[in-house]
């Protein structure tokens, strides 16, 4: 039998309501802050990610799904959402409109060739927001607050917000050097990836997942001590917005994020689960990305939130999402009344009532059993009497209460009975 590729997951019909519930909340949260949806292709020219995401990142070095198409072009399945959004922003000249340009994407499939494990898939889906053309820290803060309140509203507890500033091309080179000087004496003890990226991207050693790298960098110098005035002011302004909003956050100078395009603010929303910490949302400022991919110099900030991880958290915290009924009413009938049952079902659907009937030739008894299984709160029987009088015998499946009503009155009665 052919199975789904490793690291992918189907969303089954019985569970898709959970996704839809989240999608609805996410759309509303984005719209409240003026973000409108953007949809970009699932694949882009590989060069976009080489230039945008950066060739020292794990994503570009190890994780991209890259292939040649039949026209011999190098194509890559999106390994993150921001570069595609920035490409679209640029290509459609959206920077010529009034700024900021606020956009979000939802359920964007993201492909990374990672080691599949709990919370780590090869295809996952992100809700992401991007705000182009806003340089003030209020834009960073509104994104952090939006993500925080969204997760809080879903009932997720133990949420912590971690923020940091990784400076800008003016102040970061000096920090790179300071960090390299610190790491130079310990380079033999770093893991292979940290050794490899030591020259070009030493920052990554700070958020390496290897224990020994974490130990070695415990007392490393902090970027925060070397920020230029502009970056320091920006970071202070961000903190004062968050203080004012009263959300709990901590400054964590080890957060550097995996993508090369970040400048100034970086942040993560993390929850403590019984299997350790889980990062559910990550983002930051990328003031140089638009220019890097060939556009004007233009500040921007955004985040990405993994839908699978949000759902995982809801599960692990025992949060139950409201499950809609598949049917309001299930019509049961004797074989000779199949035509009448069919018409009834169509009439009810036309009135906005979720209705269905047996399509498998079941006996009346088996139809009731099936109706029960679907969780339909009501059944409506059409026997010979009901067919002759154009009526419906409606039964509350939980209490057994029954009412026979003329077909014309059925929709109103059904609505009443299901509240």
Q: Which residues bind ligand ATP (CB under 6 A)?
A: 80, 112, 114, 119-121, 124, 126, 258, 279-282, 304-306, 308-309
Q: How far apart are CA 46 and CA 79, in angstroms?
A: 10
- How far is the first Cα of the chain from the last one, in angstroms, to the nearest whole number? 46
CB of 406 to ligand ATP, least distance (A): 54
Kindly give, in sequence order, each residue whose CB lies less than 8 Å from that of residue 132, ignoring residues fewer than 6 positions away: 86, 89, 94, 95, 99, 100, 101, 102, 103, 290, 298, 300
Please say which residue, 121 or 353, places its beta carbon nearer to ligand ATP: 121
Please say which residue, 132 or 303, places its beta carbon nearer to ligand ATP: 303
CB of 1 to ligand ATP, least distance (A): 25
Asked if 168 contacts 258 with a C-beta cutoff of 8 angstroms, the reply is no
Instruction: Give residue number: closest CB to ligand ATP.
Output: 306
Please say which residue, 7 or 295, places its beta carbon nearer to ligand ATP: 7
Closest CA to 373 of 408, 345, 410, 332: 332
Asked if 407 contacts 350 with a C-beta cutoff of 8 angstroms, the reply is no
Kindly give, in sequence order, each residue whose CB lies less than 8 Å from that of residue 222, ignoring residues fewer than 6 positions away: 253
Q: How far apart are CA 405 and CA 409, in angstroms?
A: 6
CB of 255 to ligand ATP, least distance (A): 10
Please say which residue, 174 or 272, places its beta carbon nearer to ligand ATP: 272
CB of 63 to ligand ATP, least distance (A): 8
Torsions phi, psi for 276 (to 5 deg): 105, -170
Please say which residue, 21 or 370, places its beta carbon nearer to ligand ATP: 21
CB of 305 to ligand ATP, least distance (A): 6
Please say which residue, 123 or 230, places its beta carbon nearer to ligand ATP: 123
Please say which residue, 171 or 255, places its beta carbon nearer to ligand ATP: 255
Burial class (CB in 10 A: 0-12, 13-18, 19+), 188: exposed
Q: Cis peptide leading into 18, omega within 30 of 0?
A: no
Kindly give, in sequence order, each residue whose CB lies less than 8 Å from that of residue 74, ignoring residues fewer than 6 positions away: 45, 46, 47, 66, 67, 68
CB of 173 to ligand ATP, least distance (A): 24
CB of 34 to ligand ATP, least distance (A): 22
């Amino acid at each position: 039998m052919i199975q789904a590729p490793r690291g992918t997951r189907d969303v089954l019909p019985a569970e898709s309501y959970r996704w839809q519930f989240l999608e609805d909340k996410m759309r509303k949260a984005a719209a409240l802050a003026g973000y409108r949806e953007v949809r970009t292709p699932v694949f882009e020219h590989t060069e976009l990610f080489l230039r945008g995401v950066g060739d020292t990142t794990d994503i570009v070095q190890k994780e991209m799904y890259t292939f040649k198409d039949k026209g011999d072009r190098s194509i890559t399945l999106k390994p993150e959402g921001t570069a595609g959004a920035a490409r679209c922003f640029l290509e459609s000249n959206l920077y010529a409109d009034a700024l900021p340009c606020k956009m979000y994407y939802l359920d964007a499939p993201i492909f990374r060739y990672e080691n599949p494990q709990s919370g780590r898939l090869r295809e996952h889906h992100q809700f992401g927001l991007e705000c182009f053309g806003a340089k003030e820290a209020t834009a960073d803060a509104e994104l952090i607050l939006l993500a925080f309140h969204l997760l809080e509203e879903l009932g997720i507890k133990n949420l912590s917000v971690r923020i940091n500033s990784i400076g800008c091309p003016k102040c970061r080179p000096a920090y790179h050097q300071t960090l390299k000087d610190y790491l130079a004496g310990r380079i033999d003890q770093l893991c292979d990836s940290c050794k490899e990226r030591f020259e070009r991207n030493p920052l990554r050693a700070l958020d390496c997942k290897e224990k020994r790298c974490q130990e070695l960098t415990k007392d490393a110098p902090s970027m925060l001590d070397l920020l230029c005035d502009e970056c320091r002011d920006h970071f202070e302004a961000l903190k004062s917005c968050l203080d004012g909003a009263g959300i709990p956050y901590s400054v964590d100078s080890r957060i550097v994020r995996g993508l090369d395009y970040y400048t100034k603010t970086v942040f993560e929303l993390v929850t403590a689960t019984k299997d350790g910490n889980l990062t559910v949302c990550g983002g930051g400022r990328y003031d140089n990305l638009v220019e890097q991919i060939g556009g004007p110099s233009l500040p921007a900030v955004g985040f990405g939130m993994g839908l699978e991880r949000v759902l995982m958290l809801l599960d692990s915290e025992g949060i139950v999402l409201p499950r809609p009924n598949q049917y309001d009413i299930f019509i049961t009938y004797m074989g000779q009344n199949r035509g009448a049952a069919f018409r009834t079902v169509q009439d009810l659907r036309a009135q906005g009532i979720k209705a269905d009937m047996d399509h498998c030739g079941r006996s009346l008894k088996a139809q009731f059993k099936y109706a029960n299984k679907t969780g339909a709160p009501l059944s409506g029987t059409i026997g010979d009497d009901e067919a002759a009088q154009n009526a419906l015998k409606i039964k509350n499946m939980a209490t057994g209460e029954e009412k026979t009503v003329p077909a014309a009155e059925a929709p109103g009665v059904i609505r009443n009975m299901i509240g």
